[in-house]
A = this chain, B = another copy of it.
Amino acid sequence: MKALEEKILREGQVYPGGVLKVGSFLNHQIDVPFMVEMGREFHRLYKDEKITKILTIETSGIAIAVMCAAEFGVPVVFAKKHQTKNLTNDCYVTPIHSYTHGNDYEARVEKQFLNAEDRVLIIDDFLANGAALDGLIDIIKQSGAHCVGCGIAIEKVFQQGGARIREQGIRVESLAMIGEMTEDGQITFAE
């Protein structure tokens, strides 16, 4: 998606340790009309897949997921990173290692919100090591639903998550694929 690549070049900032900051439009401030465009692009890519549900994980995936779901006319379910008072115990649970925060946590989705009849599209903002995506795919497997594929805003191709998930036969569509990021802030997109 050319418009996303241009936006990353214009507004993205590279931080030490391979961190790409896109807080001006994606994960702190949200450029809502641009989210609408991204939602339409995911719809274009997956429109023949009879999707019944969009699955994401809190927090940064929610805005894109909601806009994408508006195109498909289906609900969003977002996996929770914490057990809270208003979550039942009847959940699919999967362990996830966060490379960003350097810790482990359990993601959970209440069983009533995913079932074997669902055809699920996973939406998330970033794909790097793929740990969050592995977790969401595992939750879909537990539910017996079918994982139609993944729609990612920004994939860091120089990390291994995307390759590993595609090797499992799962379709992954990323709207911008970053091939290289240098310490001095240069970003190169992969073909």
Contacts and interface: CB of A to CB of B under 8 A. Distances in A.
A66 B30 contact: yes
Given A17-B85, A59-B58, A59-B59, A28 B78 contact: yes
A19 B66 CA distance: 25
A157 interface: no
Interface string A84-107: 111100000000000011000000
Nearest to A36: B70
A110 interface: yes
A185 interface: no
Contacts of A87: 23, 28
Interface in A27-49: 27-33, 35-36
B76 A32 contact: yes
A178 interface: no
A122 interface: no
Contacts of A31: 75
Given A58-B58, A86-B21, A87-B28, A66 B69 contact: no
Nearest to A102: B85
Closest 3 CB pairs of A and B: A30-B76, A58-B59, A32-B69
